[in-house]
Structure 1
Amino acid sequence: MATDYDSPRKADDDLGEDSLQELQARRGDKASASIDLDESELAESLELPGADLSNEELSLRVIPRQADEFTCSRCFLVHHRSQLASDVNGQQICRECAA
């Protein structure tokens, strides 16, 4: 539940002063606050798993592995040399996989 820390706080003796009608009215106000969404907009913005993306084109620049980087033999991610934990028989393992 969100709390407004800037609003004045009620003292313990003030808490008992709220009448039952005030409390019910507040609860009714909170229940009536709903979000009105246009269903057609919602349906267009949703993308389902397994959707056909064959007509979509993705373009990005691929940078080759640099001289100060290595590929971990367990997770197959490219890391900086500072992340090298062990190098046994050409099997380079990063610190994260070695832990």
Structure 2
Amino acid sequence: MAADFDELRSDVKESQNESLEAVKSVSAPDARSVVRELDVDDSGEAGELRGGEILTDELTVQVVPQGEDEFVCQSCFLVRHRSQKVEVGGQAFCRDCEG
């Protein structure tokens, strides 16, 4: 008698069915319960906002204009020193982007 080696053994079929039933019987969390769990902070109380500081300070940045010995790479748009400049097709690229 020829044996079908592709067919699952009966004990394997039964264990697959049992495990499938076990998975189906487990109650999976719904989206709302996950959100509720995430809303509860470490103290266990929901609804409290975690404090972020409100800053009234102003950020001051000094902008330095591009120097005569600098250029802007046409690929990464960083300001580079002219020693990094490589011209390809009339456009300036830095050595990192040129390759």
Q: Aligning the two structures, in what range does the TM-score lie when normalised by the shorter sequence?
A: 0.3 to 0.5
TM-score normalized with structure 2 length: 0.41
TM-score normalized with structure 1 length: 0.41
Q: Which of these two proteins has the greater Rg computed from alpha carbons?
A: 2
